[in-house]
Amino acid sequence: MKVPLYEKIWMWASGVLVVAFVVTIVVGLAGSALQPPSHVETIDPTKVWNDPRFKQRGATPTAAGTTVVMIAMMFAYQPAEVRVTAGKPVTFRLTSSDVTHGFSIVGTNGNTMVVPGYISQFTTVFRTPGEYLIVCNEYCGLSHHLMFAKLIVEEGRAQP
């Protein structure tokens, strides 16, 4: 196959660009653990309210930071408001009691699908204190656009 010179240059440049994209991803993954929420854990979606893993909802302090447990349902999150501390790791654990929902913390890269029968989990750190809007970003019915919650990130208290 005879390829004209200019096109050869272009093809090599394209190849280099594709490799550069892939390297960027690998560096982000290795350096900053940038990876999507990919937790694998199942749950009976018809019994989430009584499941021991979701009985105690809201923010619970742990040794490492905070765990936030929430249930997504048509058309709200339970609880609808959560407080966490800035600068400390926060682990979100979510599931759905009905259809598939989204969970997107506006202004951050906190984002996961919430699929019935499965538990979504991801850990993140909020650097900037303030009030964040959490929205459902997967269509879940006629009041989908009314499904949101509030995340309040508080100033970290000085350690004693």
Partner 1 sequence: MTRIDRAQVEVRTPSRAGPRKIAGLALAHLWVAILAFGIASAMALMQALSRASLDLPWRTAGMYYLSVTAHGVLMALVFTTFFIMAFGYVVASRTLGREAGPPALAWTGYWLALTGTLATAATILAGKASVLYTFYPPLQAHPLFYIGLALVVVGSWCWSAVMLLSYRTWRRANPDAPTPLAMHGIIATVLIWLIATVGVAAEDLIQLIPWSLGLVSTIDPVLSRTLFWYFGHPLVYFWLLPAYVIWYTLLPQVVGGKLFSDPLARLVFVLFILFSTPVGFHHQFMDPGVSAGWKLLHTFLTFAILFPSFITAFTVTASMEVGGRARGATGWLDWLGKLPWRDPLFSSIALSMMLFAVGGIGGAINASFGMNAVVHNTAFIQGHFHLTVGSAVALTFMGAAYFLLPRLTGRELELGLLARVQPYLWFIGMLLFSISNHITGLMGMPRRIYEAGYGGSPVAATWSGWTGLSAVGGIFLFTSAGFFMLVMIGTALAGRRRDFEPVVWAQPLHPIPNRRTLFDRYGLWTAIAILLVIVAYAYPLWTHLRMTRFGSPGFKPF
- What are φ and ψ of residue 120, in 5° steps? -95, 140
- Binding test (CB under 8 A) with partner 1, winner from 55, 60, 61, 106: 106
Question: Does position 42 bind partner 1 by CB under 8 A?
Answer: yes
Region 20-39 residues binding partner 1, contact defined as CB under 8 A: 21-22, 24-25, 28-29, 32, 34-39
- Residue 50 in contact with residue 71, Cβ under 8 Å? no
Shortest Cβ 160–partner 1 spacing (Å): 35
**Helices and strands: H and E segment counts in the chain:** 2, 10
d(CA 25, CA 4): 32
According to DSSP, the β-strands at 66-73 and 89-96 are parallel
Q: Which is nearer to partner 1, 1 or 158 (CB)?
A: 1
Query: How is residue 54 written in tokens?
Result: 């979701």
Site residues (vs partner 1, CB under 8 A) = 1-4, 6-7, 10-11, 14-15, 17-18, 21-22, 24-25, 28-29, 32, 34-46, 74, 98-100, 102, 104, 106-107, 109-121, 133, 135-146, 148
